[in-house]
Amino acid sequence: MRYVGQRILFSILSLCVLLFITFLLSHVVSGDPAIVAAGPNAGADKIAAVRQEMGLDRPLLVQFWIYCSNILHGDLGTSWFTRQPIASDIIRELPPSLELVFVAMVINLAVSLPLGLLTARYAGTTFDDVVRLVVMAGAGLPIFWLAIILQQVVAGQWRLLPTAGRLGFENRDFTGATGFTLLDSLMQGRFDVFADALAHLVLPAFALTLLFTAVGVRITRTAMMGEFRKDYVVLARAKGASEGRIMVRHVFANGATPALTVFGMQFGWMLGATVLVEEIFGRPGIGRYAVKAVTQSDIHAVVAVVFVVGLVFLISNLVVDIALFLLTPRKHAGA
């Protein structure tokens, strides 16, 4: 349990760094935050009032303290564009993005893990070389370009999948309790909506994941390579265990841990990369919200997105690490 405690402590430390970074962005880099917060049309008196209210006339360290306590109370500021609390905007926009990243992650794992395992097993063969080449190519594709091309070809030319949006026209009124369309539709037994939502997710998720999958295959391969050389594999082979059994029961079970840590991190990175995909596919979400906020110079909204994505990143890492620890307790006993 000491590991879990340490892990949580590290997350709290990370949260502090994250707060420090976002504070830097909103209070130091972007100029006078009072002018930003007071919004357009604000006179000098209003700005002075806001400055005092936000404590901007106090030393930076005090300001940082105020900033942190505001955020920890769930106050991310007010968007001068939508005139709404940013926190409520983000709560609305987060589920569709998380859903997209979730589907992208499923594709990622479904491709990376088996391909990584197989290339490790058959390292040095033509199969390995070909996969390596494909992976390298995948790592060089700009996400946003891939998204445009996929949209134009698969949806536009071939008409295999929908072009844009989250749901088809006939399901436009669908709402659910959680905001996750896939989950809501299953809970309500609306399998038609589920299929529709999934069809709308395939292209953006694929475009989003390709680059990460390319990294995922390599990471998995490296992790598995190490396992194949270990004594127990040699021993298992000597005992006459089948190659498939060795791969799945031994190598994969043990080698997956370091790889899964990376996938945990990828979850947060993917959430950040939604800024490149959502606008193209006309999907609502935190990425599109961020892009809008950027072009509207709505600094507080942008910084809030940075914070929330960072937070999701921290949480997903923590969850993956603790889950792995609980699943394979012996590995960490000495740590």
- Closer Cβ to another protein, 254 or 266, answer by number: 266
> Would you state the structure tokens that stand for residue 104, as one six-digit string?
């992208």
- Least spacing, CB of residue 290 vs another protein, in Å: 6
Interacting residues of 30 by C-beta distance below 8 A, sequence separation 6+: 36, 299
- Least spacing, CB of residue 84 vs another protein, in Å: 6
- Least spacing, CB of residue 254 vs another protein, in Å: 18
> Would you state the structure tokens that stand for residue 236, as one six-digit string?
């298992």
Maximum separation of any 2 CA atoms in the chain, in Å: 83
What number of other Cβ atoms are within 10 A of residue 332's Cβ? Answer: 16
Judge contact between 131 and 116, C-beta under 8 A: no
- Least spacing, CB of residue 318 vs another protein, in Å: 12
- Closer Cβ to another protein, 25 or 241, answer by number: 25
- Least spacing, CB of residue 239 vs another protein, in Å: 26
- Least spacing, CB of residue 237 vs another protein, in Å: 20
- How far apart CA 263 and CA 271 sit, in angstroms, is 12
- Closer Cβ to another protein, 16 or 323, answer by number: 16
User: Residue 45's Cα: distance from chain center in Å?
Assistant: 42
Judge contact between 106 and 201, C-beta under 8 A: no
- Closer Cβ to another protein, 241 or 322, answer by number: 322
- How far apart CA 236 and CA 87 sit, in angstroms, is 54
- How far apart CA 274 and CA 225 sit, in angstroms, is 32
Residue 85 backbone class (left: φ over 0; alpha: ψ -120 to 50; beta: rest): beta
- Closer Cβ to another protein, 83 or 239, answer by number: 83
- Least spacing, CB of residue 271 vs another protein, in Å: 7
- How far apart CA 320 and CA 324 sit, in angstroms, is 6
- How far apart CA 116 and CA 251 sit, in angstroms, is 11
- Closer Cβ to another protein, 241 or 265, answer by number: 265
- Least spacing, CB of residue 240 vs another protein, in Å: 27
- Closer Cβ to another protein, 206 or 289, answer by number: 289
- Closer Cβ to another protein, 18 or 118, answer by number: 18
- How far apart CA 71 and CA 23 sit, in angstroms, is 10
Residue 40 backbone class (left: φ over 0; alpha: ψ -120 to 50; beta: rest): beta
